[in-house]
Amino acid sequence: MKHLAEYSDPAAIRALAAEIARVSKRPARIMEVCGGQTHAILRHGLDTLLPPHVRFLHGPGCPVCVTPATYLNHAIAIARRPDAIVTTFGDLLRVPSESSGDLFAAKARGGDVRMVTSPLQALAFARENPAKHVVHLAIGFETTAPANAMLALLAKERGLTNVSLLVSQFLVPPILRAICAEPATAPDAFLAAGHVCAVAGATPYAALARELGRPIAIAGFEPADILLGVLEVLKLFEAGRAEMANAYPRVVHPHGNPAAQHTIAAVFEVADREWRGLGVVPQSGLVLRPEFAAQDAALRFPQKYSSCNYYTFSACPAAAVLLGKLRPPDCPHFGTACTPDHPLGAPMVSPEGPCAAFYLHRPTPTP
């Protein structure tokens, strides 16, 4: 295939589905760990093309869904300050915090919260507003880390003292280890997100597959990309091989993007990180290095809060959804008390959330 449209070609999709049916002999649960892939699977009905004994589990691949409520409390507290400007991607605006509403409500009450499409826009706001401090909400997986790191680097390089980052960066491999630590509910195989691996490289996922004792296929986001990933991971699964297959080689190279990795390593270091609903996962996130303390909004605007599990006192069972233990349509609130207009939890808010994906693309529950 040479052109993007070919990755949605019905004949190619049918051929891949037939090959999957031919190869697959035993029950398999495949977890994708990317909100973009979850939406593509449901939008294109790819799950309905699989043999009945092969199922997708939708993992914690939505960065907004796993950003802890305590982080949002902190962001909202900063947004309420008259001397602050908060910049964020739009999908974080309506995510419920622990007790302070959401960023959209803070903006409605007069907070200067600005939606951006690049973290680097914070630099211009800082230059234009020297009497204010600009805080960028730096969340996401390996995919957003390079641009967030670049913001810290450029702020330091240009001597801008009124811009900083409130960081909640996550790493994918540690959460896969945490999921596999519960063998009863762990999937049989993983689809790894192509954009994450484009940064990190394919090679680390080969070692990870061996460590987890489960095959991993790196997959892209078009229908044929995802089915190709399913085919490759099922071939490994049927052969009993805990190995990695790169089903997205047009984007993912063995060693990833060295320039992006270098930028991340220059600014961030690995640390424990709290995941919303899942608790603290050891060495699963990135924090700013001590030499970037001046760019750390958590130090500039310290907030006393203890780690709390929003979902233990909320009606939203999102932790179970994010671990693949509960399908969104099986949540008692799905489509009734919880809708995109009135979300009870982040998975219904974010464009990458699994509950929003089912609501948008599968409003009538399937068995």
- Burial group, residue 76, by CB count within 10 angstroms (0-12, 13-18, 19+): buried
Is 59 one of the binding residues for ligand SF4 (CB under 6 A)? no
111 binds ligand SF4 (CB under 6 A): no
Q: How far is the CB of 114 from ligand SF4 (least distance, A)?
A: 26
Choose one: 71-79, 100-108, 150-158, 316-324; the region binding ligand SF4 (CB under 6 A): 316-324
Stretch that binds ligand SF4, among 45-53, 86-94, 109-117, 327-335 (CB under 6 A): 327-335
Q: How far is the CB of 60 from ligand SF4 (least distance, A)?
A: 13
Q: Does 189 bind ligand SF4 (CB under 6 A)?
A: no
- On whether the CB atoms of residues 115 and 89 are closer than 8 A, the answer is yes
Q: How far is the CB of 295 from ligand SF4 (least distance, A)?
A: 33
Q: Long-range contacts of range 306-313, CB-CB < 8 Å, 24 or more positions apart?
A: 306/70, 307/68, 307/70, 307/274, 307/279, 307/280, 308/68, 308/69, 308/70, 308/98, 309/277, 309/279, 310/68, 310/69, 310/96, 310/97, 310/98, 310/276, 310/277, 311/276, 311/277, 311/345
Does the footprint of ligand SF4 cover residue 331 (CB under 6 A)? yes
Please give the C-alpha separations between residue 196 and each of 124, 200, 230, 261, in angstroms, as whole numbers: 28, 6, 18, 11
Residue list 123-162, contact with ligand SF4 (CB under 6 A): none
CB of 195 to ligand SF4, least distance (A): 24
Q: Which is nearer to ligand SF4, 67 or 148 (CB)?
A: 67
Residue 348 in contact with ligand SF4, rule: CB under 6 A: yes
Give the distance, in angstroms, between the CA of residue 22 and the centroid of all CA atoms in the same chain: 32
User: 290 or 367, CB closer to ligand SF4?
Assistant: 367
Give min distance, CB of 326 to ligand SF4, in A. Answer: 7
| Number of residues located near ligand SF4, criterion CB under 6 A | 15
Q: Which of 75, 113, 134, 344 binds ligand SF4 (CB under 6 A)?
A: 344
Residue 61 in contact with ligand SF4, rule: CB under 6 A: no
Q: Decide if residue 316 touches ligand SF4 (CB under 6 A).
A: yes
The dihedral built from the CA positions of residue 183, 63, 263 and 136, taken in this order, carries a sign that is: negative
Question: Per CB under 6 A, which of residues 272..301 are in contact with ligand SF4?
Answer: none
CA distance 27 to 48: 15
Residues forming the site for ligand SF4 (CB under 6 A): 316-318, 321, 328, 331, 333-334, 338, 343-345, 347-348, 355
